[in-house]
Each structure stands twice: as structure tokens, then as C-alpha cells.
């Protein structure tokens, strides 16, 4: 019994060491970007240009009367859409590491068992931050105007990242439970469309039919888009910030423990 207790004590990892391991594996998840610069260009430049070009300049005139006016309405919501779309890919990366045996190699190392999971999450949030900033810069170049101050704008971006992190836990749970990569991709697509298109990202909810309007009003994406739109452009916030934070806490409390349990079964 004493020997077993000594071994357990020896392998116990403190909080600071756990944080260091998480940051190290976050860096490991970002290192592969050096060998694939196309991913950086595509995510940070091409994707924002395509989204703004397609949704604003193709549909903006028909929806809002002018592309400039629609850009002012749609861009804050597009920031939410881009961040959610990016974090839903977290499960794919996690599933790929499991399939390639990366977790098997990490299991033999004296690191915190939670570090690979949190490292994926942190690496994804770094990429999301770069993509959101790129989209905001591209939007500003096309005429988007921030009508509040720098503090509220930064708070809006932070709110988008915090909300996206709660969605990442859901994606990681699917990545840990899925039997194939196609299942993870299918989940991302099926979840993304009703959440984003059934919200006020693209049009105001009052223009929707009653049944869809009822869904859009309770949709967490609607609350996040309204909050960021208000923080950046000065439109009424209402309780949208609190609703967004509430959804963030609820989704994290629901999916993080499930993802951690599924992860422990994997390792």
C-alpha cells in the first residue's frame, strides 16, 4: 500500500505544471501552420473576403437596399458565424490525433492527462482570434464603421471568443465519440446551418415566419450577434450580453464534463 501511495504521489501533477503542459501542446497544435501556409492565407484572408463578398455584395442590395448598409448590419454577426464555424473544426483535429496515435504517444509522457484536450482548445482559439481580426480588418477596408469605442469593440471580440469556446467543447465531445472523420464533418455542417441561418446574423428576426422567429429568438447565436452588434455599432443591447454569457456557461457546464469523461476513456 505504501509503495502504491508513493507512486501515485510521484505522478501527481500540480496546477502550474498542468498549465505549462496545456500551453506547450497548444504551441504544438500551432506549429503545423508553418508547414501549411495555405491554411493561414485561406483562413485569415481568403475566407473573410469570400464571406463578405458573397453575402454582402451579392445579397446586401436586395436585403437592405445597399451593400454598405447591409455590411454595417451583417459584419458583427458574421464574426460570430466565423468563430463558431472555426471551433466546430476542433473535433476533427482531435479525432485525427486519436486516429494517428498521437494520444498513445502522449499517454507515455509525464504530462497532465487533460493537457492534449485543453491544448487543442487553446490552439483553436488562437486561430479563431486571427480569423476574427482579419475579418474585422477586411470589413473596415470595405466600409464597416465601428461606432462605439475601442473598449466596447474589444469586449465584443472577447465575447465572441468566449462564446465560441463553449461550442468547442461540443465539437470535441463529438470528435472523441465519433467512429470516423466523416461523422465529425457531418455533425459540424448539420449543426452550423440551423444555428447560423436560423438567427439574426443575416436578417432581422421580425422578417421571418412565426415558427422560425420563435426559434431565432431563443437561438444562442442570435443573442451573441445582437450583443456584438450593439457593442460595435451602438445598437440596443437589451439583455443580449447576459444571455450570451448565460448560454456560454450552460453549454460549457453541459459539454465540458461529458468531453472530459469521453477523453478519459480514450486515454
Number of Cβ within 10 Å of residue 225's Cβ equals 27
CA distance 247 to 46: 30
Burial 131-147 (b: 16+ CB within 10 A, else e): bbebbbebbeebebebe
Percentage of the chain lying above the pLDDT 70 cut: 85
Burial class (CB in 10 A: 0-12, 13-18, 19+), 182: exposed
CA distance 226 to 76: 8
Contact 238, 226 (CB under 8 A): yes
List pLDDT tens digits, range 72-95: 998 999 999 888 888 887 777 777
Phi/psi of residue 84, nearest 5 degrees: -65, -45
Q: What is the pLDDT of residue 4?
A: 40
Contact 156, 228 (CB under 8 A): yes
Q: What is the pLDDT of residue 9?
A: 42
Every domain of the chain and the residues it spans = 2-266
List pLDDT tens digits, range 11-43: 567 778 778 877 877 777 777 666 665 556 555
Which pairs with CB-CB distance under 8 Å and at least 24 residues apart come from 197-206?
Answer: 199/77, 199/225, 200/77, 200/225, 200/226, 201/74, 201/77, 201/78, 201/80, 201/81, 201/225, 202/55, 202/59, 202/63, 202/74, 202/77, 203/63
Amino acid at each position: 500500500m505504501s509503495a502504491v501511495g508513493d507512486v501515485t504521489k510521484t505522478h501527481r501533477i500540480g496546477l502550474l505544471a498542468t498549465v505549462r503542459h496545456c500551453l506547450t501542446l497548444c504551441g504544438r497544435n500551432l506549429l503545423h501552420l508553418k508547414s501549411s501556409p495555405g491554411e493561414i492565407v485561406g483562413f485569415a484572408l481568403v475566407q473573410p473576403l469570400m464571406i463578405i463578398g458573397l453575402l454582402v455584395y451579392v445579397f446586401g442590395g436586395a436585403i437592405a437596399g445597399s451593400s454598405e448598409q447591409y455590411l454595417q448590419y451583417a459584419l458583427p454577426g458574421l464574426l460570430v458565424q466565423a468563430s463558431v464555424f472555426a471551433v466546430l473544426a476542433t473535433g476533427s483535429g482531435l479525432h485525427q490525433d486519436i486516429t494517428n496515435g498521437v494520444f498513445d504517444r502522449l499517454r507515455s509522457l509525464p504530462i497532465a492527462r487533460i493537457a492534449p484536450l485543453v491544448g487543442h482548445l487553446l490552439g483553436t482559439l488562437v486561430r479563431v482570434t486571427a480569423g476574427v481580426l482579419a475579418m474585422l480588418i477586411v470589413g473596415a477596408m470595405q466600409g464597416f464603421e465601428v461606432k462605439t469605442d475601442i473598449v466596447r469593440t474589444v469586449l465584443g471580440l472577447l465575447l465572441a471568443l468566449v462564446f465560441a469556446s463553449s461550442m468547442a467543447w461540443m465539437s470535441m465531445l463529438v470528435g472523441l465519440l465519433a467512429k470516423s472523420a466523416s461523422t465529425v464533418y457531418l455533425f459540424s455542417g448539420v449543426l452550423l446551418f440551423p444555428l447560423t441561418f436560423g438567427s439574426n446574423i443575416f436578417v432581422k428576426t421580425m422578417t421571418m415566419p412565426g415558427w422560425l422567429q420563435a426559434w431565432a429568438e431563443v437561438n444562442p447565436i442570435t443573442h451573441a450577434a445582437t450583443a456584438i452588434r450593439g457593442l460595435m455599432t451602438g445598437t440596443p443591447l437589451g439583455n443580449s450580453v447576459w444571455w450570451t454569457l448565460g448560454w456560454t456557461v450552460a453549454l460549457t457546464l453541459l459539454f465540458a464534463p461529458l468531453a472530459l469523461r469521453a477523453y478519459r476513456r480514450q486515454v
